[in-house]
């Protein structure tokens, strides 16, 4: 990595999936420690249960292996990276791939390259570690030739823009609002509803004026069949918005956010139209795009409008700076 930033509070767990050679584990550990400036935890080797493996195609089932990795994430780690000698399949199950990661969560895995040239193998491994970890830091594929996020080349480093984005995520402090929110969303994604509700309650106790987390708590509680508490969470959320119509449209936007982005956009537009405090509604819509969808483009649009209307939240400013999206005037 070209950055000299110190990310000493950020921790990545390394999980050998099967009987992985010590050299491969040590190499992965060195890349993460030395080049990414993060702490590491090397977990004991583990044999993957048969239900995660597709014996017919001799490969891991992509969705299931990422689910398994998340179940092994230590409390002290922000990310987990698996190492395997087995084939992997892309998330649609059709194409063989060298690595997998979930851009909305905290999990990544790579297959050890089989090339006999040890120098090329190390270069490929370095690229895979950077690329898959990059996805867990919410980086998408990049078309720049010198970037590790370019899916068509073997590169050891990020381009300048991807590096800035990665540095921002790597500097997030354990226990901060962003760290807790990221964990809560991952728990919700992987259907650990009880644990998700617990984290959302903790967030709300420290940040009671953030409407997004009441709605996310309500979803977790509904899936736990705790309808009374879920309803109360939405009622509490309503008090943080300026009228019932804003509350309705904003929540409809959140509901559609992952399943129908165009409907979400329409409902958010209705919420903005009805809101008395335009600055606040742009901030929380940007927050939703950022934390739930990791949609940098739409996050930027709403955060920029929030600043134009007089907002001064330093977290918003820092996020825009990391994406080179800070308005010039």
Task: Report the residue count for the chain.
Answer: 329
Angle at CA of residue 219, ends 69 and 305, nearest 5°: 95
Lowest mean pLDDT among 51-60, 166-175, 287-296: 51-60
> Is the model's pLDDT at 206 over the cut of 50?
yes
CATH domain 11-170 topology = Collagenase (Catalytic Domain) (3.40.390)
> Is the model's pLDDT at 3 over the cut of 70?
no
Is 7 in a helix, a strand, or coil?
A: coil
In this prediction, residue 4 carries a pLDDT of 43
Tell me phi and psi for residue 115, to 5 degrees: -60, 135
- From the CB of residue 40, how many other CB atoms can be counted at a distance below 10 Å? 18
Contact 264, 302 (CB under 8 A): no
Q: Report if pTM > 0.85.
A: yes
In angstroms, the CA 146 to CA 132 distance is 16
In angstroms, the CA 252 to CA 271 distance is 9
In angstroms, the CA 202 to CA 205 distance is 5
In this prediction, residue 203 carries a pLDDT of 97
In this prediction, residue 116 carries a pLDDT of 64
Instruction: Tell me the mean pLDDT in the region 179-208.
Output: 95
Is 108 in a helix, a strand, or coil?
A: strand
Instruction: Tell me the mean pLDDT in the region 204-229.
Output: 94
- pLDDT band for 90, please (50, 70, 90 cuts): low
| Percent of the chain whose predicted confidence (pLDDT) is above 70 | 95
Using one digit for the tens of pLDDT, what is the confidence trace for 143-189?
Answer: 998 899 998 888 889 999 999 999 999 999 999 999 999 999 999 99
**In the CATH scheme, what architecture does the domain 177-322 have?**
Alpha Horseshoe (1.25)
What does pLDDT average to over the chain? 90
> Is the model's pLDDT at 2 over the cut of 50?
no
Contact 41, 203 (CB under 8 A): no
For the chain, give the longest Cα–Cα distance: 65
Where do the structural domains in the chain lie, given as residue ranges?
Answer: 11-170, 177-322
> Is the model's pLDDT at 56 over the cut of 80?
no
């Amino acid at each position: 990595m070209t950055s000299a930033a110190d990310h000493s509070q950020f921790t990545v767990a390394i999980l050998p999936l099967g009987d992985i050679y010590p050299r491969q584990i040590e190499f992965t550990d060195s890349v993460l420690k030395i080049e990414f400036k993060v702490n590491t935890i090397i977990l004991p080797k583990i044999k993957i249960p048969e239900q995660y493996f597709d014996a017919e195609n001799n490969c891991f089932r992509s969705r299931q292996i990422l689910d398994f990795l998340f179940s092994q994430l230590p409390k002290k780690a922000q990310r987990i990276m698996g190492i395997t000698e087995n084939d992997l399949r892309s998330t649609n199950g059709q194409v063989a791939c060298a690595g997998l990661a979930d851009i909305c969560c905290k999990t990544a895995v790579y297959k050890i390259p089989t090339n006999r040239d040890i120098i090329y193998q190390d270069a490929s491994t370095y690229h895979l570690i950077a690329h898959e970890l990059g996805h867990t830091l919410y980086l998408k594929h990049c078309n720049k030739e010198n970037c590790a996020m370019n899916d068509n080349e073997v590169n050891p480093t990020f381009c300048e823009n991807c590096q800035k984005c990665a540095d921002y995520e790597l500097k997030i402090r354990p226990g901060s609002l962003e760290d807790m929110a990221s964990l809560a969303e991952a728990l919700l994604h992987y259907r650990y509803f009880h644990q998700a509700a617990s984290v959302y309650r903790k967030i709300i106790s420290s940040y009671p004026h953030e409407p997004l987390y009441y709605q996310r708590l309500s979803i977790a509680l509904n899936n736990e069949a705790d309808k009374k508490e879920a309803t109360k969470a939405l009622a509490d959320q309503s008090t943080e918005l300026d009228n019932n119509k804003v509350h309705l449209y904003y929540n409809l936007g959140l509901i559609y956010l992952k399943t129908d982005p165009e409907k979400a956009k329409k409902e958010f537009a209705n919420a903005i139209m009805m809101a008395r405090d335009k600055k606040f509604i742009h901030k929380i819509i940007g927050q939703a795009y950022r934390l739930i969808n990791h949609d940098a483009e739409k996050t930027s649009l709403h955060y920029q409008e929030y600043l134009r209307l007089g907002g001064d939240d330093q977290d918003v400013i820092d996020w825009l700076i990391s994406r080179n999206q800070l308005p010039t005037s």
